[in-house]
Structure 1
Amino acid sequence: MKKLFVLFITAALAVLSSCGGQAVKGKEEKNAPSPQQTKDFELIAQKTGKAVQSPIPFDYDTYKNNQTVKMQTYIGGENTVKLQPVPVKIGYSLPLTGWTKYKILWVQVGKPGGKTHDLKFIPGWDGNFSLYYILKDGAGDYKVTLFAADDPNSQTFQALLAFNIMSQADAPKDIQKLSLNPYIIDFVNAHIGQTVGRGECWDLAQAALDMLSADWLRPTGFGLPLDPSKDDVLPGDIIQFKTVKVVYATKNGTAIESYGSPDHTAIVYKVLGKLHYQLAHQNVFNTKVVTVSELDLNNKTSGQVWFYRPVMGLVQN
């Protein structure tokens, strides 16, 4: 293995440093609905960063006999991670099986000059892991880097090793099967009335995605982009707002709600109609706990919104 210099990644560099987008409700509007509670999903530390099972079959067996990659080890990575051989040429599923002494791993995957996918996961109690990453940017060359930390809540991760692969197959067209929406709603239900992270609006989506080892592009590429005029929006989808203003008619005139100054992030909790939703979000209406409230984007008068479908990244073998 070729040994490289010490490299660290700071999580704070990859996050939205401040919501800067507390949603503001007009004075004439009623308070947000009371939080809905559920005990169906108990979040415990052992579940954080755990990959889910994939409905899409792996294609690793087709490529497992190929020449294997040359691992480049960073200083500090010696004897702290052992990765089973990875073929130089693969399909759309990248195998990641091995052992580490660290409590949490951060995987970066990206094409040269392209966007980087960031995925976190927690190995088993004995340090072992056996996962796949489903490549979604099509065939081509990729660089893979593994970072690690001793604390799942750490803001600084040390690089352990890196290697290059060549994908020779695109992922199946039915990639929508990889949606994580029900899991996202489970996470929301477990945290309604609570503060997630710093209490910033972005922290709720970030925590849910990282808990599920989801595939996303930090800071605001939360999954597969959706067009609400063509695509069905589902509970668990994520909306990013920029300086959005919504105006409602009231018996006394109008009421104005603002989402984003400039940014705000929310999760679709329930679909009430076309562009009409219940949202789960925090740092909203002067509270930093997760709250459910109603929004009708048919009344939007200014600003921009982006919709995303959260999808699986690292999946169980």
Structure 2
Amino acid sequence: METWSRSRGDKLFDWTNIMFFLLILGIVIYPLYFIIIASFSDPDLVNAGKVLLIPQDISWIGYERIFGDAEIWNGYKNSIMYTVLGTIFRVSLIITGGYALSRKDLPMAGTLMLLILFTMFFHGGLIPTYLLVKELGMVDTMWAMIVPGAVSVYQLIIVRSFFQSNIPQEMLEAAMMDGCGNFKFFLRMVLPLSLPIIAVMVLFNAVAMWNSYFQALIYLNDASLHPLQIVLRKILIISEAQLDLIDASGDAAEEQKVSELIKYGMVVVSSLPVLVLYPFLQRYFVKGVMIGSVKG
């Protein structure tokens, strides 16, 4: 049996690709790594450029200040609740809506799609939206973080395209000949075949919900309902305000160092859950987006 030997040019091409992608990987990963080590290194050494790969003069006071605040834990609880409930609610609407719009037998499907697309380009604005949320009694409730803006038109189009590309009409007709109804067909056949696009929608919406702060800033006046992002923002503002009130003494210098540690620590604290979630969903990510974007 003949063996195919690779030429020197092929090997050089492979090594060039490996080195190029390692460079890209380093460019992406290093800033994340630097923020982590800077969050417990001496800020003076960080600002002097002496902390590059190895943390120096390790101090955990930044994390002690962050996690010593009871509001942080309450914010974590609220953010987890908003993210879980909001993601389930949003993905359920997007998946069911996208499937319905992908069906050829849906009455006035084209008109419905035009009306949905209209909302993508024209919006009532912040004040009318706030008045609507207020009239619905959702101000200062968890629903203000979940219901407004629950359906993204862009995501709805992706899901609709996915179903049009991957759920043939013949499958539905064959199922109905065997006595399967629409609801049973959706649960038993459509959803198991849609795991890639469901995972993509879960990732999109979970990240958006976790990072959401503007809705809380507008609709939530009760501090006990604030998500983590608002709490961290408040800590940062208070930390800066305290520095302005302290004179240029040694205490001010120490507080400045703590403030720098808190800034880096807040980035780590707020990003960690998303970084933990992503590896479990990333294998579906590219597949789901590419399949869902083939047809419009």
Superposition TM-score, scaled by structure 1 size? 0.22
Flag the structure with higher helix content: 2
Flag the structure with higher strand content: 1
Greater RCO, 1 or 2 (C-alpha within 8 Å, sep 6+): 2
